[in-house]
Structure 1
């Protein structure tokens, strides 16, 4: 049965499960803003917390849609953004940069779950000089000035709109921006080109990149299909195939040991001549660097992630009955996944667009 996240409010706060699945940030009994993700990772008690959105002055689109008057404010506090995955963070920051472009004098403070994975936090370290201030949660609610703009987008995975809108549109809406006012040219993560990445070796040979691992097995490329796809890349482009994970193919190299940091991962995507991936983080990076991409989508519609990417050849891998699920490693689901990829590979002409040639 679905959890009713507000079921315990009349009695003085959430119970444990409701607090962790609440679509928004939390307010502790001592007045601190807390990310439920941090409570979940640490196993800290969650009972007694309340929705941050019930505090005066907090804007929360999941509770009530709003239009933010950025022009009337000197500072905006974006609370609990932009999630704990690399892909969500890239898109959420694209929305932040859309605000920055229109209101260059506004001071942006972004508050993050402190327990987010290190490789995700690294992205914010790289981007921080262009954003404003990036701080870890928890913070005292009283430390946010009463007259500042305060927007909560915490725990967005549990917001119904997150599963129904293209991700960039979701984040713009959650930040009180008019989606229609932001052109597609600002929705392909071009801010990534301004990040301070490590120098790239001048003598490194050209390559195409293969990123087969997504956040869950049901969204990843089956291991049984990987050598076949590497062969297709080799035949199409005639270049060495670099990638992440073991693949038995004479023209493939696993470069995982050469990618110790998020900045290195960004660099490997940036310099690829073509990308093939089921990992939406790699897809979003490629779009920012204008890298031609073949992207596979299983349990989510391609338009929800790749609508604004002109150089992405988005392929839907049909999995009837599994649309919308966030994760699965069930044997039956993975067998269906392998069958769907096998059917896709039977058509030689589907993997690339005609102009996907070097």
Structure 2
């Protein structure tokens, strides 16, 4: 009997939207996730298969990734600016987002990388990565880089359960957990609200960065 591995349109599969992503794929391969060691559920296999290009950037930089694969999970501009300000307390700052007025002398803006080697190099030489959603988080885990990540739509354990150097924050949301695509304009408003649970008071974000500093710098 021929064995069939189903990889079709997984983001629309209800099973994908309610469990850790790696468990979903392991099950589709016919493996029991609980029988796979946690270390084998990470992305460290990638590090030996690419040659990261060293970026022409100052050493010890913090990489900020405010954009996700879809607008629904992007950081609002105000959140990005607050994180830039706090990250400057740690070291040089590089962002893949637009540099706000007043930061252009202290923050380096980078255009999207054209090659995987360049993108991996950008991540693996960073002191920290701060991201929304998970694309850059998966790369950070591959290279053992410390990462602070915010999840506007997903539960943290669905994406980073097995990543020991990742600190995650699941934002309060009125959106369905695991939503992959906006259903209409109102979903963008709900996504934005998840970043501002207390209105303009962003003390929660400062506490998250402070916790990351203790978690990352205390562990070396």
Out of 270, 273, 285, the position equivalent to 2:124 is 270
2:92 corresponds to: 240
Out of 333, 345, 358, the position equivalent to 2:202 is 345
Answer yes or no: is the 8 Å Cα contact 2:174–2:194 preserved in 1: no
Take 1:173 and 1:222, find their aligned partners in 2: how far apart are those partners? 35
**Number of positions where the alignment pairs a residue of Structure 1 with one of Structure 2:** 209
2:190 corresponds to: 333
Q: Note closer, same or farther for the CA distance 1:186–1:160 as it changes in structure 2 (3 Å cut).
A: same
Residue deviations 1:126-175, cap 9 Å, x none?
xxxxxxxxxxxxxxxxxxxxxxxxx2322212222111220111111100
1:355 is paired with a residue whose SS is helix
Q: Note closer, same or farther for the CA distance 1:199–1:282 as it changes in structure 2 (3 Å cut).
A: closer
Out of 213, 216, 219, the position equivalent to 1:356 is 216
Q: CA deviation at 1:340?
A: 3.4
Q: Note closer, same or farther for the CA distance 1:247–1:268 as it changes in structure 2 (3 Å cut).
A: same
Answer yes or no: is the 8 Å Cα contact 1:317–1:344 preserved in 2: no
2:19 is paired with a residue whose SS is coil
1:301 corresponds to: 155
Question: Unpaired runs of 5+ in structure 1?
Answer: 1-55, 60-150
> What's the TM-score, normalizing by structure 1?
0.54
Q: Note closer, same or farther for the CA distance 1:159–1:349 as it changes in structure 2 (3 Å cut).
A: same
Q: Indicate whether 1:320 and 2:174 are aligned.
A: yes
Answer yes or no: is the 8 Å Cα contact 1:297–1:314 preserved in 2: yes
Take 2:29 and 2:147, find their aligned partners in 1: how far apart are those partners? 29
Take 2:82 and 2:120, find their aligned partners in 1: how far apart are those partners? 25
Answer yes or no: is the 8 Å Cα contact 1:219–1:299 preserved in 2: yes
2:30 corresponds to: 176
Take 1:342 and 1:292, find their aligned partners in 2: how far apart are those partners? 29
Take 1:342 and 1:226, find their aligned partners in 2: how far apart are those partners? 16
Take 1:256 and 1:231, find their aligned partners in 2: how far apart are those partners? 20
2:59 is paired with a residue whose SS is coil
Q: Cα RMSD (Å) of the superposition? A: 2.3
Q: Indicate whether 1:57 and 2:5 are aligned.
A: no
Q: Note closer, same or farther for the CA distance 1:201–1:152 as it changes in structure 2 (3 Å cut).
A: closer
1:254 corresponds to: 109
Answer yes or no: is the 8 Å Cα contact 1:58–1:152 preserved in 2: no
Q: CA deviation at 1:344?
A: 7.7
Trace 1:12-31 onto structure 2 (pairs within 5 A): none
Q: Note closer, same or farther for the CA distance 1:201–1:229 as it changes in structure 2 (3 Å cut).
A: closer
Q: Note closer, same or farther for the CA distance 1:247–1:322 as it changes in structure 2 (3 Å cut).
A: farther
1:323 is paired with a residue whose SS is coil
Q: Note closer, same or farther for the CA distance 1:152–1:190 as it changes in structure 2 (3 Å cut).
A: same
Answer yes or no: is the 8 Å Cα contact 2:93–2:107 preserved in 1: yes
Trace 1:129-144 onto structure 2 (pairs within 5 A): none
2:21 corresponds to: 167
Q: Note closer, same or farther for the CA distance 1:318–1:196 as it changes in structure 2 (3 Å cut).
A: same
> What's the TM-score, normalizing by structure 2?
0.85
Take 2:56 and 2:64, find their aligned partners in 1: how far apart are those partners? 21
Take 2:31 and 2:120, find their aligned partners in 1: how far apart are those partners? 28
Take 2:31 and 2:135, find their aligned partners in 1: how far apart are those partners? 24
